[in-house]
């Protein structure tokens, strides 16, 4: 399963902030991390935060696209049905759109 993410590095706290329009008619999960966008630190912090939030092994969360961009495509390894249920359970409050 893949997840669109918009990353905000150098934030005051690490957190999932909600959904944001991606500019192409879709939506992305907006995530903030405290790490700076240098030498892959923000990407590593993003993947660790998503693994913790979704209760996945760190090795099951990887960056598919966007190593040097704020817009990321994150790959979540595992059974798609189980992952969809985990996303709904763990990210439910942020997945609601007005």
Sheet arrangement for strand 15-21: 15-21, 27-32, 2-8, 71-76, 61-65
* Mean model confidence pLDDT for the chain: 91
97 falls in which pLDDT band (50, 70, 90)?
low
Average pLDDT over residues 69-84: 94
> Is the Cβ–Cβ distance between 15 and 91 less than 8 Å?
no
> Domain segments of the chain: what residues?
2-95
Residue 23: the pLDDT is: 77
Question: Which of 3.80.30.20, 3.90.550.10, 3.30.1200.10, 3.40.50.300 would CATH assign to domain 2-95?
Answer: 3.30.1200.10
């Amino acid at each position: 399963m893949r997840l669109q993410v918009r990353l905000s590095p150098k934030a005051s706290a690490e957190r999932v902030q909600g959904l944001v329009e991606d500019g192409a008619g879709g939506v992305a999960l907006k995530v903030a991390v405290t790490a700076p966008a240098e030498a892959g630190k923000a990407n590593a912090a993003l993947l660790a935060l998503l693994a913790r939030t979704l209760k996945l092994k760190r090795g099951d969360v990887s960056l598919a696209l966007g190593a040097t961009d704020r817009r990321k495509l994150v790959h979540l390894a595992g059974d798609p049905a189980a992952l969809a249920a985990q996303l709904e359970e763990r990210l439910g409050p942020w997945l609601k759109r007005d």
